[in-house]
Chain A
């Protein structure tokens, strides 16, 4: 039985923060008893989400603001909220690419949201009252 959190982290809005974030997420996922594949999936989902903040939400902002993560773990779920101060986007309008057509057309981008949706059990995105954006990922600890 495990109950953790919230574990709150504020990191610079730069690509070099990603390695630290992955380390925190995988450590907590191991403590929660997730198996190797599920740890790999939540690591990927969080890294892709945070990369989108750095590469897209903060695009054109100089310097990049920091962003926050809040992680909660209980017996059933591993929950991560990623809160940024960048541009909002229409998450629900995103059309999932078809493979291999997407890559045959020369695209190397656009795969991240597909992987986020594929690797977590629930994903929501909303604009907070203070104008920050919150992406919430929920992954069951076990299948």
Chain B
């Protein structure tokens, strides 16, 4: 099946993993979106920043997955932060009430600062 172009890049940095996503997430590639990110969230004590700055579209299942990533990561003693969310996607996050559950930061710098103010629980590398 032809899928919508999607790039998920994970970089282990100093004390955290930066996951950058580019493209659109729809029903053609949402399973790819899940399978590339969820294992990182299942690793104990992971500190993850999901950079959404390159995302042009997210469907309902991908919003649900954002919550699953957050829940899974925190259940395993980790931290899951979301940053650089485009306005139209942030609007839907608020519509779903996800902003009350996810930690959404305006910029990558804000997300890194937020990690710096929390206790380092371990490394996922």
Contact B1 A108 (CB under 8 A): no
Across the interface, which residues of B come within 8 angstroms of A22, CB to CB? 24, 26, 57
Q: Are B96 and A99 in contact (CB under 8 A)?
A: yes
B1 surroundings in chain A (CB, below 8 A): 14-16
The one of B59, B65, B97 that contacts A44, using a Cβ cutoff of 8 Å: B59
B23 to chain A, nearest CB (A): 10
Are B87's CB and A43's CB within 8 A?
no
Contact B60 A16 (CB under 8 A): no
CB distance from B100 to the nearest CB of A (A): 8
Neighbour of A112 across the interface among B60, B71, B98, CB < 8 A: B60
Q: Nearest Cβ in chain B — how far from A121, in angstroms?
A: 14
* Bound Cα distance from A48 to B27, whole angstroms: 9
Stretch at the interface among A33-41, A71-79, A126-134: A33-41
**A40 touching B89, Cβ below 8 Å:** yes
A51 near B27 with CB under 8 A, answer yes
Q: Could you tell me the distance between the alpha carbons of A44 and B60 in the complex, rounded to whole angstroms?
A: 8
Task: Tell me whether A107 is interfacial, beta carbon within 8 Å.
Answer: yes
Cβ distance B30 to chain A, nearest Cβ, rounded Å: 9
A108-B65 CB under 8 A given contacts A36-B88, A40-B89, A115-B92: yes
Is B61 a contact of A109 with CB atoms below 8 Å? yes
| A119 neighbours in B (Cβ, 8 Å) | 92, 95
Q: How far is the CA of A87 from the CA of B88 in the complex (A)?
A: 32
Are A108 and B96 in contact (CB-based, < 8 A)? no
B57 touching A43, Cβ below 8 Å: yes
Contact call B60/A115, Cβ cutoff below 8 A:
yes
Quick one: closest A residue to B56, CB to CB? A22
Question: Which residues on the B side are within 8 Å of A44 (C-beta)?
Answer: 59-60, 92
Residues of A within 8 A of B88 (CB): 36-37, 39-40, 43
Additional A-B contact list (13), CB under 8 Å, known A103-B67, A108-B68, A119-B92: A15-B3, A18-B4, A18-B26, A40-B87, A41-B91, A43-B88, A44-B60, A100-B67, A103-B64, A112-B59, A112-B60, A115-B60, A115-B92
Q: 30 pairs across A/B with beta carbons < 8 Å?
A: A14-B2, A15-B3, A15-B26, A15-B28, A16-B28, A18-B27, A19-B4, A19-B26, A22-B24, A37-B88, A40-B88, A40-B91, A41-B92, A43-B88, A44-B59, A44-B92, A47-B57, A51-B26, A99-B98, A103-B64, A103-B71, A107-B64, A108-B61, A108-B68, A111-B60, A111-B63, A112-B60, A114-B60, A115-B92, A115-B96
